[in-house]
Amino acid sequence: MASKLTFLSILFFVVLTLTKGETVNQKNSSAFEFIKNLQGCCHKGSNVQGLHELKLYLARFGYLNYEPAHYQPNANSPSQTFDDELESALKRYQSFYHLNATGTLDGPTISRMVMPRCGHPDIKDHQQMHSKSLHTVPQFQFPQDSPYKWPINKTNLTYAFGFNYLDAYVPPVVRAFDTWSAASGYFTFYRIDNITSADIKISFERGDHGDGATFDGPYGVLAHAFYPTDGRMHYDADETWSVGPGPVDNAIDLQSVSLHEIGHLLGLDHSEDENAIMWSSIPSGSLKGLNSDDILGVKALYGLK
């Protein structure tokens, strides 16, 4: 009887913790922590353990064309070499984030790289090759004549949550949709129960969840969403999430991240404006909302005044 009561007490504690809007997660180190180990120990031409993972990071976010299947990541392989391509990729990364484009792993670059962020690439292949085709005024981004937007007759969008989505996590996402609706003056969003028929499908996932964009655990990639008209929006279940109303130490604000991912659902890329919600990263324990860059971006994409 005592054992049964103990089990029920533990179960009640877990459920109570989750309904307060945070995952049970004791790990505080970043999934990108390995990058810190490279500071001061590598330079162009050197072979250093960990450069393979750095190349994967830069490739994942659009800065490097890298095919890891061609390499075995041992100490002397090309995958562990600080080569010209890696230097160029670092310069592109530094330029995007308004850092000094040294092409080296200096302190400010590493500090930026280890921040928790969206899984959406900062730069697409077509952007690297045809950068002049981008709208970048002020600093929002999307490809000119983008196919990634909702049809002109599709301004009323439905959304639904996955079957295992906790009720405590619903209000911040609803508020994020309402915020975008008011700001755009164009889209309206309606919640429905049937996720199969919804335009936008929202769920918590972890690890490899079958969409080709694997989550990596705490304080790495926080979430990702797909361009129109795919409609999938996923949060990493291994993060510690906060439902507000204010900032919570060592937790990621769900409403702020939802605002960002809805921007992708509408067709926006990452902005180079650090104050924009479409900036790629957000520190734990902080809040963020839409700013003029975000609103101008969606209006420009859909040809709105």
Q: Give the annotated binding-site residues.
A: 118, 199, 209, 211, 216-217, 224, 234, 236, 239, 260, 264, 270, 278
Q: Are 294 and 266 in contact (CB under 8 A)?
A: no
DSSP H helices in 104-240:
107-113, 125-129, 170-184
- 272 vs 264: CA distance, rounded Å: 15
CB 119 within 8 A of CB 280: no
Q: What is the DSSP letter of 281?
A: B
Measured in Å, how far apart are the chain's first and last C-alpha atoms? 68
Type of residue found at 165: Y
Instruction: Give φ, ψ of 204 to 5 degrees.
Output: -95, 135
Say if residues 191 and 174 touch (Cβ distance below 8 Å): yes
87 tagged catalytic = no
* C-alpha–C-alpha distance, residues 139 and 275, integer Å: 10
Q: Which phi and psi (to 5°) does residue 79 adopt?
A: -70, -20
Of 22, 53, 205, 261, catalytic: 261
Check the CA dihedral 60-66-70-74 and report its sign: negative
Structure tokens at 84: 């010209």
On whether the CB atoms of residues 105 and 121 are closer than 8 A, the answer is no
273 neighbors 279 (Cβ within 8 angstroms): yes
Show binding-site residues for Zn(2+): 118, 209, 211, 224, 234, 260, 264, 270, 278
Catalytic residues, which ones?
A: 261
